């Protein structure tokens, strides 16, 4: 299967607060790029849903607050052996340049490791 992503994603593990349509949850991000993030969740929202995200990059004190749009969903499956990384891929919609720079510095730091 060919890679469809245009921007490099790197693996991460940090908490993300998100809310949409009356739902407010704390979940775990498992990868990030300068244009989006994957949130591991048992309750993914449908593609096209707008969500408010808040998260802090490890070793950076400033919280990133950004609007995102659910681009795709990896649904929860009935059997645990096929339940690979359920969650949703979020595309950032209004990421500030300073926050993009913070994310890019994280990506570069992880890519070197």
Domain that holds residue 39: 10-112
Query: What does the block give as tokens for 99?
Result: 């926050």
In a domain, 94, yes or no: yes
Confidence of residue 21 (pLDDT cuts 50, 70, 90): confident
Query: Which tens digits make up the pLDDT trace of 65-90?
Result: 999 999 999 988 776 665 578 999 99
Which residues, 6+ apart, have CB-to-CB distance to 88 below 8 Å? 38, 39, 41, 44, 45, 70, 71, 72, 73, 74
In a domain, 104, yes or no: yes
Reply yes or no on whether the pLDDT at 1 is more than 50: no
Reply yes or no on whether the pLDDT at 4 is more than 70: no
Reply yes or no on whether the pLDDT at 2 is more than 60: no
Overall number of domains in the chain = 1
In a domain, 2, yes or no: no
Residue 83's pLDDT is 54
């Amino acid at each position: 299967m060919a890679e469809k992503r245009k921007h490099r994603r790197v693996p991460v593990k940090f908490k993300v607060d998100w809310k949409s349509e009356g739902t407010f949850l704390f979940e775990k991000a498992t990868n990030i790029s300068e244009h989006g993030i994957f949130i591991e969740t048992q309750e993914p929202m449908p593609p096209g849903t707008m969500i408010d995200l808040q998260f802090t990059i490890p070793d950076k004190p400033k919280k990133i607050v950004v609007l995102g749009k659910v681009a795709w969903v990896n649904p929860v499956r009935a059997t645990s052996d096929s339940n690979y990384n359920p969650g949703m891929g979020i595309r950032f919609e209004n990421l500030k340049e300073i926050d993009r720079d913070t994310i890019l510095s994280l990506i570069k730091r992880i890519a070197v490791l």
